[in-house]
Amino acid sequence: MADKAVTIRTRKFMTNRLLSRKQFIVDVLHPGRPNVSKVELKEKLASLYEVKDPNTIFVFKFRTHFGGGKSTGFGLIYDSVENAKKYEPKYRLIRNGLDTNVEKSRKQLKERKNRAKKVRGVKKVRSLVSFVMVS
């Protein structure tokens, strides 16, 4: 794509000491271009705020205004990756690559639950363990 001008502005900047992060609203102006990718936005924000580790930047909930050319969303910059891992919800960590998604087979989970329904009380734990080893 031809490098059309992408302008980023931040509004309502706030330092959240309780969650050890900085949070703000990101306004992206991208006339003539479809939505800007989150990776690109993170790079630009890293250069804007002089962040050493772009892994601590999270951008989400972007919405394009009517007619295109402008989108608004939220952004967070954590003090460190450990803080980010502590406070961020799992799906955002997965998006940033800081966590892996455990693919749980839905069918297995349901079977497990149905087996547990037949047994009452502490025996459930033992029965589940045995069945896990079998399956």
Partner 1 sequence: MMEETKNLDLDRSIKKEAPQLAALLKEMKGVLDTVTSKVQALTAKVKANDFPTAGGISYLEAKHLLLLNYCQSLVYYSLRKAKGLSIEKHPVVQSLIEIRLFLEKIRPIDQKMEYQVQKLTRDIGRAAEQLNLKEKESEATEKSEDLLKYHPNPEMLVSRSDMMAEDGNAVYRPPKIAPTLMEEDKMSKQERNALRREKETQRRAKEGYMKDLIDDLEGRPEEVRENVGNESREFIRYQQQWEERAQREEELFTRAPVTKMEKKKEKHLKKSRDGLLALTDGFFDEIKTLPLEGDTGDQTKNFNNGSSATGRLKKRKRRY
Choose between 61 and 86: whose C-beta lies nearer to partner 1: 61
Choose between 73 and 116: whose C-beta lies nearer to partner 1: 73
Mapped onto helix, strand or coil, the DSSP state of residue 104 is coil
Distance CA 98, CA 72 (A): 25
Choose between 19 and 128: whose C-beta lies nearer to partner 1: 19
Q: How far is the CB of 26 from partner 1 (least distance, A)?
A: 11
24 neighbors 12 (Cβ within 8 angstroms):
yes
Strand partners, 105: none
Q: How far is the CB of 25 from partner 1 (least distance, A)?
A: 5
Q: How far is the CB of 61 from partner 1 (least distance, A)?
A: 5
Which is nearest to 92 in space by CA: 80, 117, 75? 75
81 neighbors 55 (Cβ within 8 angstroms):
yes
Residues that bind partner 1 (CB under 8 A): 11-12, 23, 25, 61, 63, 66, 72, 74
Choose between 35 and 72: whose C-beta lies nearer to partner 1: 72
For residue 50 the two structure tokens come to 């002089």
